[in-house]
């Protein structure tokens, strides 16, 4: 990964198999429709790798969501987290994952096609998944 900064933003593609209410820590209970979601965050490779692990302590809001949703793939970007999140504002935006900024939320719900179109339109520099070098599989 020569020339790529250690801390980058990322988009995490996830699938929720059925609609359900979830306890999201201090945010309380939130209803989530089944379907496709994308979460925008920032951090090192270890942070992204953590999203693909089932066994972990809940630390961030997205950890609660990932107890029930399946992470599919992550895309890294050489741009800021909030700037990347604005790229997904055409999707349904949920108030989760933006407690450290002024954004409404960094979790978005939409069709797989729309999410993938937006993910690729904004020029990811790397694509990662459960069978990537991050998880060692």
Q: pLDDT-derived band of residue 135, with 50, 70 and 90 as boundaries?
A: very low
Has residue 134 been placed in a domain?
Answer: no
CA distance 95 to 81: 15
SS3 22: strand
Say what the pLDDT of residue 26 is.
Answer: 85
13 lies in some domain: yes
Q: Copy the structure tokens of residue 38.
A: 């994308």
pLDDT at position 98: 75
Whether 92 contacts 18, CB under 8 Å: no
Query: What domain range is 83 assigned to?
Result: 8-128
**Residue 132 clears pLDDT 70, i.e. is over it:** no
Whether 107 contacts 93, CB under 8 Å: yes
Note whether residue 74 is domain-resident: yes
Q: Which residue has the tokens 């997205």?
A: 62
- d(C-alpha 65, C-alpha 32), whole Å: 9
Average pLDDT, integer, range 107-132: 88
Element (H, E) at 14: strand 8-16
- Residue 131's pLDDT band, with cuts at 50, 70 and 90, is low
Confidence of residue 108 (pLDDT cuts 50, 70, 90): very high
What pLDDT, in 10s, does the model give residues 8-66?
Answer: 899 999 999 999 999 998 888 999 999 999 999 998 888 899 999 988 888 888 999 99
CA distance 54 to 67: 7
Domain count, the chain: 1
């Amino acid at each position: 990964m020569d020339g790529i900064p250690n801390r980058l933003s990322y988009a995490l593609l996830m699938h929720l198999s059925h609609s359900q209410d979830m306890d999201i820590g201090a945010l309380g209970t939130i209803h989530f429709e089944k379907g496709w979601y994308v979460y925008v965050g920032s951090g090192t490779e270890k942070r992204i790798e953590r999203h693909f692990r089932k066994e972990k302590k809940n630390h961030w809001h997205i950890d609660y969501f990932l107890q029930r949703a399946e992470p599919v793939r992550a895309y890294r970007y050489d741009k800021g987290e909030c700037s990347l999140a604005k790229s997904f504002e055409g999707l349904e935006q949920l108030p989760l994952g933006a407690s450290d900024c002024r954004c409404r939320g960094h979790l978005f719900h939409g069709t797989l096609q729309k999410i993938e179109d937006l993910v690729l339109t904004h020029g990811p520099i790397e694509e990662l998944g459960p069978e990537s070098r991050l998880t060692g599989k």
